Structure 1
């Protein structure tokens, strides 16, 4: 990078309060020095006539969309007005044609990487997806889908908007798919309040920026710790993906209740038929396994004596031949092969179980490691293995996975904290995935062969649990009677943390 960064002020709805704005800018400049640019978004004139603006006018009219390039190389794209409800847009509105022409004018540039700044009046629709959401605005209803599409294409480093009378700075989001595309710069969306608002909400935003064209690539694509997924990437695809998974519309899995109450002296809600372990509730069409499945809760093959908790969409069971007596599996009740195939409601309950188990194991002085092997398996099994806090630090566990992977020539990559695994792997993609109690995640895309016991090998090693004899689950299974006793003890111990008991 050569020279000094540009110092920029961005402002929300001015609404004709020119004197108030420029007096405030002068005060700021006296305190912190001159700024190179003042950019305004939202309702600029308000009810004030344009003649009152003449004293401040220093620009030539550019039209309702366009690109401004400064002498330093800073590139600013802008789209004026609100979204028109027809293709013939009035002067104060923009249409899909305006958006298309603005995109074409930039995307046709050779080696286009994105713009430095995007200015719009409305917010982009769905900007809150995968990130922090404003309390006052529903981002799924507010804003323009056209602007979402524009931001998706132009990849602005900064995107400013207004009109909603609030200040909102979204977490930065990435413009590439992790492990599938080259790393690109992040985008920051900032909404600004109106000038002189009585609630003292922020309407001026100061920042420094080097033009993208003058930056070293490695510096440009640095990813901050709080980066999230692109909020617009799934906006138009989620429904289509659901249909593809199910053949038409997504069908929730069947619901079954397994009676665990007899051993606890309590009754669970049922249809009144006693003596049946499984009872249907609102039966629905689900995907069927190619043969009998040990883990579908409706299957006669399921090991009922290992079940310790049942929710609406998922259940917990002790691992058969586990690394320890509290090695637990989180499993979907219906037939799903991997996490990436789960519907949002099933995934929500998986997360609730992970949270409950984490709290439970913490109360026992343990941290937990979660891993999934989506390879040569037909039903999703999330393995949850507790590790005593006194045994080793989370960093040691992470290093053990990485070192063992290197020894076996396995490319185990760390995923950014806010990454959703569904953004990395498509349904049907074989993979191995580890999640640590700190939120750190490791991922390997399986291309050929993969050691089936890899996760157990790492955790059973001397560096962690020091139970190398338990690497192969088939060598350490207990009798049915012994396993039932252990499951009953775990069930009773876990009960205060079990949200399914509170439903």
Structure 2
């Protein structure tokens, strides 16, 4: 009889937000059933977490699941970890230690390495060195019966780990300890696996000097701290490795029929356009949730953000920055969402929300709660991550981004409510405009639309980088 798999949750930087973390764990378990453990990497504690932590340390509150954490990543949080070899910090919360191997009663084996990478010997209490890596490796390989570990935990990103991965705030998976697996089953490739992110040429491997980080990158920091190139596609100057010939710029795909959003298309309602850049333009939304509800759109035909060229991505980023500054000048923050589902042209919906009406946490919670009510798994992804790391071209998805950089993501695998983004923002918890959740009920006369566009264009002019180009 095959062994039952363990159900595991993993997360990155908690930064002392224990109530937020464990609240989400409870919500997930309420929806999906009990999990066996929670593994935390990155910063578990924050510089201001003492008050919240005291309730767990004294037993006033208890973690809802056995939780295993790595050690400090900076000097400010070293004091939270009294024993370098690992100990129980509170009921159901265990510090694994500086480095070593954790063997659970289930047979699961977890190798771990705490802290950030350091070039110093000996490394500070919140770091590890190349010597620490070598000693951990030696201790594992010296065991006569060693065949491998089930899980490796480190706070920094291993090089290339983001390739093909869904880097979610909370990631759930099932695993059978290899000690309980049949040898034939152990080497069998499971279904639905991605490509190996660590595969590289021998030439590239010879260039790698640091144990976990690329030599041309600064020392890696926390679990969600990607390298300096994250969030951007490679420049299209043709100077890629192993290729001395410049490549021709890739042309965007052409629409298969009439497109309402390609700027050169006769179907575009140009009276709604308020700004035109080199690769993108800005237009008021037809039937907008609010009079200043706008869309960021590529001039050429692209289906989603993950299909964009680097030049278009750069200009989208400029429009985001300009809109953030514009709305903040009016006492508002923006919420951006994209629905890459049953649409042929990318539309980034940008909707302002008054700053004094709700916080960014209120907005995130509204999306998460209403997603759970509709059995939609909406996950928080790292602030410094890029959407191209969690979705491949052609993948249907729903994506939310706040002007603080916080992001939520749902991979669509079946049916999805077309008006979900507007419904959340129109709900009583946020804008309290439920009657405007469906854009078709918000139609206005062309003259009124044109007047709104002129007013927006006039107000936005001081922030419009396209006018200064």
TM-score (norm 1): 0.53
Q: Which residue of structure 2 aligns with residue 345 of structure 1? A: 311
SS in 1 for 2:398: strand
Alignment of 1:92-131 (within 5 A): 110-111=148-149
Q: Which residue of structure 1 aligns with residue 253 of structure 2? A: 287
Return closer, same or farther for 1:10/1:147 CA change in 2, 3 Å cut-off: farther
Tell me, yes or no, if the aligned pair for 2:280 and 2:298 is still in contact at 8 Å.
yes
Tell me, yes or no, if the aligned pair for 1:229 and 1:420 is still in contact at 8 Å.
no
Return closer, same or farther for 1:70/1:379 CA change in 2, 3 Å cut-off: closer
| Cα distance in 1 between the residues matched to 2:257 and 2:137 | 68
Deviation per CA, 1:434-472: give whole Å up to 9, x if none. Answer: 001221100000001000000000001111111111111
Which structure has the bigger radius of gyration?
1
| Cα distance in 1 between the residues matched to 2:282 and 2:316 | 10
SS in 2 for 1:396: helix
| Cα distance in 2 between the residues matched to 1:301 and 1:383 | 19
| Cα distance in 2 between the residues matched to 1:371 and 1:344 | 20
Tell me, yes or no, if the aligned pair for 1:294 and 1:301 is still in contact at 8 Å.
yes
Tell me, yes or no, if the aligned pair for 2:272 and 2:450 is still in contact at 8 Å.
yes
Q: Does 1:444 align with 2:442?
A: no
Alignment of 1:80-479 (within 5 A): 110-111=148-149, 148-149=204-205, 156=211, 158=212, 168-172=218-222, 223=223, 226-228=224-226, 251=249, 286-479=252-445
Match of 1:73 among 139, 150, 153: 139
TM-score (norm 2): 0.56
Unaligned segments of structure 1, at least 5 residues:
13-24, 41-66, 77-107, 117-123, 126-143, 173-222, 243-247, 253-284
| Cα distance in 2 between the residues matched to 1:422 and 1:412 | 17
After TM superposition, give the deviation of residue 155 of structure 1 in Å: 9.8
After TM superposition, give the deviation of residue 419 of structure 1 in Å: 1.2
Return closer, same or farther for 1:155/1:441 CA change in 2, 3 Å cut-off: farther
Return closer, same or farther for 1:478/1:438 CA change in 2, 3 Å cut-off: same
After TM superposition, give the deviation of residue 343 of structure 1 in Å: 0.5
After TM superposition, give the deviation of residue 289 of structure 1 in Å: 0.3
| Cα distance in 2 between the residues matched to 1:36 and 1:482 | 63
After TM superposition, give the deviation of residue 495 of structure 1 in Å: 0.3
Deviation per CA, 1:405-452: give whole Å up to 9, x if none. Answer: 011110101101111111111111100000012211000000010000
| Cα distance in 2 between the residues matched to 1:374 and 1:313 | 20
SS in 1 for 2:327: helix
| Cα distance in 1 between the residues matched to 2:431 and 2:382 | 27
Tell me, yes or no, if the aligned pair for 2:232 and 2:310 is still in contact at 8 Å.
no
Q: Does 1:480 align with 2:462?
A: no
| Cα distance in 2 between the residues matched to 1:235 and 1:286 | 15
| Cα distance in 2 between the residues matched to 1:470 and 1:368 | 18
SS in 1 for 2:261: coil
SS in 1 for 2:408: strand
| Cα distance in 2 between the residues matched to 1:388 and 1:5 | 45
Unaligned segments of structure 2, at least 5 residues:
1-84, 88-96, 100-113, 161-199, 241-245
Tell me, yes or no, if the aligned pair for 2:231 and 2:384 is still in contact at 8 Å.
no
Deviation per CA, 1:134-190: give whole Å up to 9, x if none. Answer: xxxxxxxxxx986754698x994x5596xx9xx953444xxxxxxxxxxxxxxxxxx
Q: Which residue of structure 1 aligns with residue 183 of structure 2? A: none
CA-atom RMSD in angstroms: 4.6
